[in-house]
Amino acid sequence: MNVPWVTLRIVAWNELADSVRSRRVLVIVLLYLACALWGTKLFVDTLRVLEGELAQTLGLAEPKKAGGVTASLWQSESFRRTLKKLLGDEELVTHLLGAPPLALFYGWLALTFTPLLVMLTASTRIAEEVASGSARFVMFRTTRSLWCLGKFAGQALQIFGALLISAAGTWVLGLIHMQTFEPLAAMLHMLGYACKAWLYALPFLGVALAVSQWMSSPNLAVVVGLMVMFVMSLVRWIGRFAEGSDTAALWQTVALLTPSAYRHHLWWNDLSRLAPAVLLLGILTTAYLLAGHTRFGRRDL
């Protein structure tokens, strides 16, 4: 009974060890960290410029660090009304304004760019071993399904670690450059958003490995993976623009088969809203992996 789980653990560990040996895990971490640091630096610099312009208009001393004016604006009633008009949900606005501005920005950054990074780094993982012929030697020791699941687990662990490091980098920049920065509150919120971004990334990892199971060329797997991701985004946008039309129900139903349909719920901490979204993301992840395995399970290696 324990043999499959032991095998799964071994494959996942070998995936991690192989990434360390080949320095792939270092590339992944640097990609996530660079994206987070670049985005955070842009956010802080933009705040500094806007707050400097506002201070100059009001005849006040220009702040040395960003965030002082933003912290006051964050709690203002006029800003709350503006957000309500944009989001259409007062309860969500109240929830979001309870988070530090930089933490909220990090959450948006992680949820937006992590799927793309996953597709770029994970789409090759099975295809390259099939292309090199190394996959056939592994099949003497395990089943194809367990091998694919082990690959998934190993990649998921790498993504989780990279997200935590990117959150830490964002936190350090905030501590250095933000004037009104609450270290503990920001840390807790960023940790929460990193975990949510990881859960949101799992279906995209499922897509990446599904494509990798279909393709024999690693480069082609990346291209097809990005195309699938683009089609998912396109379906979601069409579903939004089709509201009120005769085909609205069809497009909105198709959109439910994409991870982005549940992204909105990940901003909540309320389990009644969060748990169903996580469950459905898990179902999508499983479905995507199975879609890939329908081909990989019977292909000639």
**pLDDT per residue as tens digits for the range 86-137:** 666 677 777 787 888 889 899 999 999 999 999 999 999 999 988 888 888 8
**Better-scored residue on pLDDT, 156 or 143:** 156
The model's pTM is 0.89
| CA quadruple 172, 203, 199, 104: dihedral sign | positive
C-alpha span between 298 and 301 (Å, rounded): 9
Of 79 and 151, the structure prediction assigns the larger pLDDT to 151
> What's the pLDDT at 1?
41
Q: Which residues pair with 178 in a beta bridge?
A: 66
What local confidence, expressed as pLDDT, does residue 200 receive? 97
C-alpha span between 19 and 41 (Å, rounded): 29
Burial of 115 (0-12, 13-18, 19+ CB in 10 A): buried
Is residue 53 very low, low, confident or very high in pLDDT (cuts 50, 70, 90)? low
Q: For the segment 186-209, what is each residue's pLDDT rounded down to a tens digit?
A: 999 999 999 999 999 999 999 999
Residue 2 scores a pLDDT above 90: no
| Distance separating alpha carbons of residues 45 and 69, to the nearest angstrom | 14
Alpha-carbon separation of residue 73 from 29, 39, 80, 89 (angstroms): 34, 21, 9, 19
Give the pLDDT mean for 198-223.
95
pLDDT at 216 over 90: no
- Mean of per-residue pLDDT scores for the chain: 85
Per residue in 13-39, pLDDT (tens digit) is 988 888 888 888 899 999 999 999 999
Residue 157 has pLDDT above 90, yes or no: yes
Burial (CB < 10 A; 0-12, 13-18, 19+), residue 177, is buried
- For residue 154, pLDDT over 60 is answered with yes
Distance CA 85, CA 81 (A): 6
- State what percent of residues in the chain have pLDDT above 70: 86
| DSSP class of 301 | -
